[in-house]
Amino acid sequence: MKKAVMAAAVVSAAATGAHAGAVERSTFNTALLFEQGDYVELSFGAVAPDVSGIGTGPFAGTSSGNMSQDYLSVAFGYKQQLNDTWALALILDQPVGADVAYPADPSYPFANSTADLDSQALTLLAKYSTPNNLSFYGGVKAQRLYGKVFIPFFTNYSLATDKSDEYGYVLGAAWEKPEIAARVALTYTSEITHTLSSIENGAPTGSFDSTVPQSVQLDFQTGVAADTLVFGSVRWVDWSEFQITPPGFALASGGLPLAAYDSDYITYSLGVGRRFNDTWSGAVTLTHEPQSDDLQRNLGPTDGFTSVSVGATYTRDNMKITGGVRYVFIGDANTTTVGSSFTDNNAIGVGLKVGYSF
């Protein structure tokens, strides 16, 4: 059962990087903290979204074309078991991001518009385990954020920010029952507010604040039969606190943000893992994020999603290799600044993770 637990956790992690709420690119993975002994992992992901819409109102019938670019992600994790009580972990990932590039169709107002949001985060954690199957963990997260935007439709508007480095924290607790492979973990990640210096249309315009929001995540798993595991999660993110409102753009637009979300999002995930033999394990995961039905901005015209992930893990000695694929049905959205209807969109992602225990 222990091997099934490990395999299902790895498969779930490897196959879930294809799409998340708002501009989220990765979520906190508690599985690393519960690996046996010392452990290191490296994961790669590639995502190909297809997001397009049709203009409404004055621009009725015009097509945006696919405005969302393919992207890659890389993550690294290391866990060291100091003794029976204490463990340390280090996680490097890319928590948020956006890659927008509207095609050059002159009939659509946002043609040739681009936006890039990039981030890197380094999290250092400590975990304390008690004799009664309870554990507590927490640590510090260092995060870097920066971006650039170009919108020809809005008087050839351009924005470039500096790189902002800020800090937050992670706190969590878990309960385990090893004999049935049960575990419940609750994790809180603080918001991190960045002050970004802005250059708009080639001139410095001061600075503005942008907050990567706080989140709460509940992870759970339990064995239900020999070599079979059910696992899942519920994740809330305070996306209504996120916005990008540079001073020059705000002045020209009457205070409107370049990017923002009006609602928070909750994401639900449920999966089944199965160990077939000592070498192979597999898992299937269903994830759903309900739509908010809010109007969305043209630089992020999606609202919720439903996805299916399938993955397999090959284990040999102290090494395990996991591959996964995820298909995402992206939620329909209507946009504000330039009225458009974005429907029937999707994304496909593939992931590969290599883990080694020592």
pLDDT, residue 337, reads 75
pLDDT, residue 57, reads 85
In angstroms, rounded to a whole number, what is the distance separating the alpha carbons of residues 221 and 5? 8
Angle at 89 between CA 85 and CA 90, to 5 degrees: 165
Query: Tens of pLDDT along 158-178?
Result: 999 999 999 999 999 999 999
3-class SS of residue 58:
helix
Residue 144 has pLDDT above 90, yes or no: yes
CATH of 2-357, one of 2.60.40.2550, 2.40.160.60, 3.50.4.10, 3.40.50.150: 2.40.160.60
CA 239, 116, 75, 195 dihedral sign is negative
Q: pLDDT-based confidence at 7, cuts 50/70/90? A: very low
pLDDT, residue 8, reads 54
Query: Which strand (E) or helix (H) includes residue 11?
Result: helix 2-14
In this structure, the strands spanning 114-129 and 164-177 are: unpaired
What are the extents of the domains in the chain?
Answer: 2-357
Which tokens in the block code for residue 195? 């002050």
Mean of all residue pLDDT scores within the chain: 94
Rounded percentage of the chain residues whose pLDDT exceeds 90: 89
Residue 15 has pLDDT above 70, yes or no: no
Which tokens in the block code for residue 286? 């269903």
Per the CB < 8 A criterion, the answer to whether 193 and 166 are in contact is: yes
